[in-house]
Amino acid sequence: MTMATANQERARDRADLEALARSLIDRLAAAFETAVARTAALCARDGKLDGALLDTHQWLCYELALANADLFAARGLLAIGGNVSPLDAGLGLAFAAQAAPALLERLEGIHVAAGLDTAALDAIAGGAELRRLRREAGGPDVLAALGAAVAESSGEIADVRVDEATALARDGFRRFAADVVAPLAEAIHREDLTVPEILLQPLREMGVFGLSIPEAYGGSAPAGGDNTPMMIAVTEALSEASLAAAGSLITRPEILARALLAGGTAAQKADWLPRLAAGEPLCAIAITEPDAGSDVASLKLRGTKTAGGWLLDGAKTWCTFAGKAGVLMVVTRTDPDRSLGHRGLSLLLVEKPSYEGHAFDYRQEGGGRLAGRAIPTLGYRGMHSFDLNFENFFVPDSHVIGEAGGLGKGFYLTMAGMVGGRIQTSGRALGVMKAAMTAAIRYARDRRVFDAPLIDFPLTRIKIATMAARFAACRQLAYAVAREIDLGGGRMEASLVKLLACRSAEMVTREALQIHGGMGYAEESAVSRYFVDARVLSIFEGAEETLALKVVAKTLLEEALKA
């Protein structure tokens, strides 16, 4: 058989398996739709979703959201099909072979709990198709061969199509990340240092802080739109070197810029956006309070009207980069009527000096005070996340986003940045996964056990393939959703990718650490940093449960009720 004939045969086999995987996933999707319809009925009163019933059926909602993320990923990957390299196609199939049985088990649990007939699922479980997919796309020999190919490529997998400008930016930022960020990343993490100016200044010059700010305001987003794939590419490249000291710098201006674009006055946009794009001042976002995080409607930090502005009193917590930042976007309760919930919130811009280090105490001339103290954390070090305390702190009327017209709109303006924040967080997860996978491949090549390099053992290669399949799934999806967002959609999909990518980052960094054995647990191994850094991804930018329940499941159930 000639090489060309062998390649054609392999391609035919792959197309065959892809068709089989698609048909299986379609059958699982049908069972999923049945479960969504049933859960919607369980959670509805008079044809509308009911809060108390949604709480009663939280487990069903949560499981449906996670099932939706897997389903979305498997379908998305299989849709890309033959348009990728043979290695990427193999990884896509390997992901489907992992996702299908996991989905089946999850759906079975949902069906049982919702009192649905499991016959359709039983037929899938007992059928030959699932067994064939598992054997031919996810069997140990297949995975070991894929793992070897991934190691051969040094982790350069999951090629995504991006335009020339994005590819150039990605290459430039990867070089910067390797040459400038990576050598500093370990010290910043282990000594809990503040991200230094030698890193921030070149990033300012490279336009990192203006990625979501339109060109007309000094940023690089195209007029009248966004370039979300570019934002993901830059985030991913920087996060590969350091989640905390590089990749996450983009999140804050992303959220604040979108709030200003959505609700700022013309003068506020003209004043703030060019400065934010230039990274002077740096900014931070203060939403979370000691007594309220996920439940934004319960935020309490009080703004009291005074001549020419507002006096802030109360506490915020977890405000990342609050020390170094020169401006904080503070979600403030400007209407004392607590029954208004999220409609009583506004966004105030608090200007302050920039401080290095872990604590600051800023006093205004009129007697106002803002004190901050960094919370010691497992990882995600460099920007520091602060407890903040405001006392009689004056903010002028001009610093309310939207001025008088912005009062009461704080919740909506914050949400304007959340889709971008979520997809950007997926980009952060991709960078961490990539770093962990590359480190695991390198270590497995260098480390000898039982007289052979660790990579020579099939179990190691299978682990590498499993990590790579997850990474590939998340990467393909993140860019697909990024493109959709730029076309005006992708709202729920951004949450699905965030759920999947952040969970996957935990799994991938766990396996990468495991491959390092004892060295993985040593602070001196970068992989231990990836592991602790990855853990935070499912907590912020929409905690996993909140996203699953309040965004994904709610959207699914609402749509089911409309159908």
Ligand X SMILES: Cc1cc2nc3c(=O)[nH]c(=O)nc-3n(C[C@H](O)[C@H](O)[C@H](O)COP(=O)(O)OP(=O)(O)OC[C@H]3O[C@@H](n4cnc5c(N)ncnc54)[C@H](O)[C@@H]3O)c2cc1C
388 near ligand X, rule: CB under 6 A: no
Which span sits near ligand X by CB under 6 A: 96-104, 165-173, 436-444, 536-544?
536-544
Q: 242-258 burial string, b = 16+ CB within 10 Å, else e?
A: bbbbbbbbbbbbbbbbb
What is 112-148 written as a DSSP string? Answer: HHTT---HHHHHHHHSHHHHHHHHHHHSHHHHHHHHH
- Only segment of 282-290, 415-423, 463-471, 553-561 that touches ligand X (CB under 6 A): 282-290
Nearer to ligand X, 388 or 455 (CB): 388
Q: Per-residue x/- marks for ligand X, 289-318, CB under 6 A?
A: ----xx-----------------------x
Element (H, E) at 17: helix 3-42
Residues sharing a CB contact under 8 Å with residue 71, sequence separation 6 or more, in sequence order:
25, 28, 29, 32, 99, 103
Interaction between residue 377 and ligand X (CB under 6 A): yes
Contacting residue, 539, 555, 558, 561, with ligand X by CB under 6 A: 539
Count of Cβ atoms closer than 10 Å to residue 517 Cβ: 14
Alpha carbon distance 65, 70 (integer Å) = 9
In angstroms, rounded to a whole number, what is the distance separating the alpha carbons of residues 552 and 478? 16
Check whether the bond before 214 is cis (ω within 30° of 0): no
Q: Which of 236, 511, 541, 559 is catalytic?
A: 541
Instruction: Quote the least distance from Cβ 387 to ligand X, whole Å.
Output: 11
Q: How many C-alpha atoms does 467 have within 13 Å on its Cβ side?
A: 36
What is the greatest pairwise CA distance in the chain?
87
Shortest Å, Cβ 412 to ligand X: 16
The answer to whether 176 contacts ligand X (rule: CB under 6 A) is no
**Nearest approach, Cβ of 455 to ligand X (angstroms)?**
34
For the CB of residue 249, give the shortest distance to ligand X in the complex, in Å: 12
Q: Which residue is nearest to ligand X (CB)?
A: 293
Min CB(372)–ligand X separation in Å: 12
Among 95, 176, 443, 540, binds ligand X (CB under 6 A): 540
Q: Which of 143, 324, 302, 299 is nearest to 248 (CA)?
A: 324
> For residue 369, what is the DSSP state?
E
- Return the range that interacts with ligand X (CB under 6 A); candidates 46-54, 280-288, 396-404, 475-483: 280-288
- Measured distance between the N- and C-terminal CA atoms of the chain, rounded to whole angstroms: 54
Q: Is 365 one of the catalytic residues?
A: no
- Helical axes 86-113 vs 140-152, angle rounded to 10°: 130
Smallest separation (angstroms) from ligand X to the CB of 334: 17
- What is the size of the binding site for ligand X (CB under 6 A)? 20
Looking at 160-168, 287-295, 435-443, 513-521, which segment touches ligand X (CB under 6 A)? 287-295
425 binds ligand X (CB under 6 A): no
- Residue recorded with tokens 């965004």: 551
Q: How far is the CB of 91 from ligand X (least distance, A)?
A: 30
Lookup: tokens for 490: 């992708």
- Is 385 a binding residue for ligand X by CB under 6 A? The answer is yes
Which listed residue (69, 97, 150, 286) binds ligand X by CB under 6 A? 286
Residues 487-516 that bind ligand X (CB under 6 A): none
Nearer to ligand X, 220 or 538 (CB): 538
Residues with a known catalytic role: 541
**Residues of this chain that bind ligand X (CB under 6 A):** 58, 285-288, 293-294, 318-320, 377, 380, 385, 536, 539-540, 543-546
